[in-house]
Amino acid sequence: MIEIGIVLGSTRPGRVGDQVARWVHERASRRTDARFTLIDLRDHPLPHLEQPPGFSGQYSDERTRAWAATVAACDGFVLVTPEYNHSVPGVLKNAMDVVHPEWNTKAAGFVSYGGVGGARSVEQLRLVCGALQLADVAPQVTLPLATEFADRATFAPGEHQLTALDTVLDHVVAWSTALAPLRRGDAEAAIRGRIDAMIDGLRSKDLEALRRSYAADVVSFDVEPPLQHVGVDAKLKNWAKVFTIFEEVDYELRDLTVAVSGDLAVGHGFGRVSGTLKNGVTTAGMWVRATFVFRDTGDGWVIGHDQASVPFDMATGRGLTDLEP
């Protein structure tokens, strides 16, 4: 199901935006075509001008990595924003600036409030969305302080605002859904790139390069004992054992299929380790069924689980190691 984040873009003491965000979330939660999560920027204290722009998707700051994971988990957004000095709140602009690819090919709608309903803030946010490859939907909700807030402090929207909000939600869900194939394509390309990097690491016998391909808590099932390797160090120890056998090692992967859903993905195909042994003998190795489970950590896709297996002959109970794809 499509995941929509409702981002509360003000962290000021005495803000009224929390009332607006709760109103949006309560209305949105009645829908059955998407899941909606309220994201309060107070819960994400981000660095400001402390690191390079996040165009690469690689973030050194733990706070930024956590925020990137939050943004990456969403398919679209409703930005709840005030207007400060005819412009966007600095904390919201910073939250949009510190990460980049996590926003791409998603949709965004706006619920704004302020002296003129926050309209000038939204006009500037639309420019930011364009740079972030966020599809900003045309309908918006504007909430003037003079008419939608009692004493300019207590949120009391007119009934007509519910119609406007429903229209925004309709468009955000529709566009987020329509863009989903593009996001899956981007994720699949990143995953295939990760597998290519893993294969390069195997061929160069570079354990540190391999480490970058695996989650720290990876669980791996192989065709040789033990039954499982738990943790990246155990996984690398197994590869190090392979490297002691081969003078030159190669790895071939055929018929790889990748399916992506949210921050998880599964890949399956046929893999084969081959090469030249320490004694100079060349071996073609054997084909195994290879399965990979990836997860998006916010720093990129890594392997959280992999498995190599072979069919077995039911009559003899022995594995069949001479089959080919």
The DSSP string of 297-311 is: -SS-EEEEEEEEE--
Q: H helices of 204-224, where?
A: 207-211
Reported confidence tier of residue 298, pLDDT bands at 50, 70, 90: low
Q: Where is mean pLDDT largest: 5-14, 45-54, 58-67, 242-251?
A: 5-14
Note the pLDDT of residue 122. Answer: 98
- Name which residue leads in pLDDT, 25 or 318: 25
Note the pLDDT of residue 223. Answer: 84
Reported confidence tier of residue 113, pLDDT bands at 50, 70, 90: very high
119-131: per-residue pLDDT in tens? 999 999 999 999 9
Question: What average pLDDT score do residues 289-312 get?
Answer: 88
Note the pLDDT of residue 132. Answer: 95
CA distances (Å), 158 to each of 69, 150, 151, 164, 239, in order? 36, 11, 15, 10, 65
**What's the maximum distance between 2 C-alpha atoms anywhere in the chain?**
86
**By percentage, how much of the chain surpasses pLDDT 90?**
62
Determine which of 89-98, 214-223, 310-319 has the lowest per-residue pLDDT on average.
310-319
How many C-beta neighbours within 10 Å does residue 248 have?
A: 12
251-288: per-residue pLDDT in tens? 989 999 998 887 899 999 999 999 999 998 999 888 99
Note the pLDDT of residue 192. Answer: 86
**pLDDT at position 185 over 80:** no
Reported confidence tier of residue 7, pLDDT bands at 50, 70, 90: very high
Reported confidence tier of residue 195, pLDDT bands at 50, 70, 90: confident
Reported confidence tier of residue 53, pLDDT bands at 50, 70, 90: low
Note the pLDDT of residue 234. Answer: 92
How many C-beta neighbours within 10 Å does residue 86 have?
A: 13
**pLDDT at position 56 over 60:** no
Note the pLDDT of residue 54. Answer: 60
**By percentage, how much of the chain surpasses pLDDT 70?**
97
Question: What average pLDDT score do residues 67-79 get?
Answer: 91
Note the pLDDT of residue 301. Answer: 87
| Nearest residue to 300 (alpha-carbon basis) of 27, 59, 128 | 59
Q: How far is Cα 307 from Cα 202, in angstroms, rounded to an integer?
A: 16
